């Protein structure tokens, strides 16, 4: 019989259970226990002999079992930190990644000194990009689109939580089609769309728990980006900025696609801190 009567016992059991399952991230056991107890992680260190109530022990046991089965911590907590926000996430949305913060930083750099911007976030997922940009650009308006109705609901929840719902219009549909239907000309289109080649998905742990719709970019990974670029000239305003998150090694191909869609503009490739292709940007001629 497993004894989870005290903090130190519960942590020791959880670490062993996670290590046995090959999920050996040492902090996970503590993050999840602090979540169950509703305390800061420092409390676990300061009070190792604090008792657990039977209900708390049962909830913790169940969470550790799910974590040992590979469910990401963000889905177990229902939250993920992104840039300077704390966002709600569910298994219907991609867990926002630090790589996407790079795109957000570029968007904010470009927006500095510009006013009344109209921003479009295509494939909004949890709303990570739209919510963060709207929070930092108080006179901007945003349109956030996703083909997943469940993702749109999560994004709207995150906008509500930060009091931004009035400045973000949520649209359910395919890429820029619903934006065009609203007649919006965007000063910025930012997109982190699926870009993993279909054939690579099976080998990736991420695909077991995150939505395939958020990841699968077709045979070469660029199907969705290619379709977006076909639509973008009808939506991007003169002198507007296009920002596309891409996968490592996709830079040259996406720059060629972007320049074919906007023949008078030069695309630029931006690397992430690991030196991988990460964002393609293109500024439309005024």
Ligand X SMILES: C[S@@+](CC[C@H](N)C(=O)[O-])C[C@H]1O[C@@H](n2cnc3c(N)ncnc32)[C@H](O)[C@@H]1O
Q: Which of residues 80-109 bind ligand X (CB under 6 A)?
A: 93-94, 96, 100
Nearer of residues 9 and 90 to ligand X, judged by Cβ:
90
Q: Is 111 one of the binding residues for ligand X (CB under 6 A)?
A: no
Residue 130 Cβ, how far from ligand X at the closest point, in Å? 8
- Contact pick of 34, 126, 189, 258 for ligand X (by CB under 6 A): 126
Q: Is 159 one of the binding residues for ligand X (CB under 6 A)?
A: no
Which two tokens mark 241?
A: 């900025």
Q: Which stretch binds ligand X (CB under 6 A): 20-28, 57-65, 119-127, 256-264?
A: 119-127
Q: Is 231 one of the binding residues for ligand X (CB under 6 A)?
A: no
Residue 263 Cβ, how far from ligand X at the closest point, in Å? 24
Q: Is 72 one of the binding residues for ligand X (CB under 6 A)?
A: no
Q: Is 214 one of the binding residues for ligand X (CB under 6 A)?
A: yes
The residue count for binding ligand X (CB under 6 A) is 24
Q: Is 194 one of the binding residues for ligand X (CB under 6 A)?
A: yes
Q: Is 221 one of the binding residues for ligand X (CB under 6 A)?
A: no
Q: Is 146 one of the binding residues for ligand X (CB under 6 A)?
A: yes
Residue 284 Cβ, how far from ligand X at the closest point, in Å? 21
Nearer of residues 59 and 77 to ligand X, judged by Cβ:
77
Spell out the SS3 assignment of the chain.
CCCCCEHHHHHHHHHHHHHHCCCCCHHHHHHHHHHHHCCCHHHHHHCCCCECCHHHHHHHHHHHHHHHCCCCHHHHHCEEEECCEEEECCCCCCCCCHHHHHHHHHHHHHHCCCCCCEEEEECCCCCHHHHHHHHHCCCCEEEEEECCHHHHHHHHHHHHHCCCHHHEEEEECCCCHHHHHCCCCEEEEEECCCCECHHHHCCCHHHHCCCHHHCECCCCCCHHHHHHHHHHHHCEEEEEEEEEECCCCCHHHHHHHHHHHCCCCCEEEEECCCCCEEEEEEECCC
Q: Is 281 one of the binding residues for ligand X (CB under 6 A)?
A: no
Q: Which of residues 235-264 bind ligand X (CB under 6 A)?
A: none
Instruction: Annotate 129-139 with b (16+ C-beta within 10 A) or e (fewer).
Output: bbbbbbbebee
Q: Which stretch binds ligand X (CB under 6 A): 19-27, 41-49, 53-61, 121-129?
A: 121-129
190 DSSP β-pair partners: 121, 243
Q: Which of residues 29-68 bind ligand X (CB under 6 A)?
A: none
Q: Is 192 one of the binding residues for ligand X (CB under 6 A)?
A: yes
Nearer of residues 36 and 214 to ligand X, judged by Cβ:
214
Count other C-beta atoms under 10 Å from residue 205's C-beta: 9
Interacting residues with ligand X (CB under 6 A): 93-94, 96, 100, 122-126, 128-129, 145-148, 151, 174-175, 192-194, 213-214, 224
């Amino acid at each position: 019989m497993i004894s989870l009567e005290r903090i130190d016992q519960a942590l020791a059991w959880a670490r062993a259970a996670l290590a046995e399952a090959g999920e050996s991230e040492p902090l996970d056991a503590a993050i999840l226990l602090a979540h169950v107890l509703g305390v800061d992680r420092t409390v676990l260190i300061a009070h190792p002999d604090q008792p657990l109530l039977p209900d708390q022990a049962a909830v913790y046991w169940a969470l550790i079992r799910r974590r040992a089965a590979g469910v990401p911590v963000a889905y177990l907590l229902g939250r993920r930190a992104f840039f300077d926000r704390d966002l709600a996430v569910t298994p219907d949305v991609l867990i926002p990644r630090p790589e996407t913060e790079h795109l957000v930083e570029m968007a904010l750099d470009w927006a500095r000194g510009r006013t009344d911007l109209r921003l479009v976030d295509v494939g909004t997922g949890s709303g990570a990009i739209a919510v963060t940009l709207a929070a930092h650009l108080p006179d901007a308006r945003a349109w956030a689109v996703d083909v997943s109705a469940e993702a749109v609901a999560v994004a709207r929840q995150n906008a509500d939580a930060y009091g931004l719902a009035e400045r973000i219009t949520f649209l359910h549909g395919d890429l820029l089609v619903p934006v065009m239907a609203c007649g919006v000309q965007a000063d910025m289109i930012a997109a982190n769309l699926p870009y993993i080649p279909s054939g690579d998905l099976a080998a990736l742990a991420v695909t077991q728990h995150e939505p395939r719709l958020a990841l699968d970019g077709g045979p070469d990974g660029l199907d969705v980006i290619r379709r977006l670029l076909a639509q973008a000239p009808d939506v991007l305003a003169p002198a507007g900025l296009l920002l596309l998150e891409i996968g490592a090694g996709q830079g040259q191909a996406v720059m060629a696609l972007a320049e074919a869609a906007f023949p008078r503009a030069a695309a630029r490739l931006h690397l992430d801190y690991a030196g991988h292709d990460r964002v393609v940007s293109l500024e439309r001629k005024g």
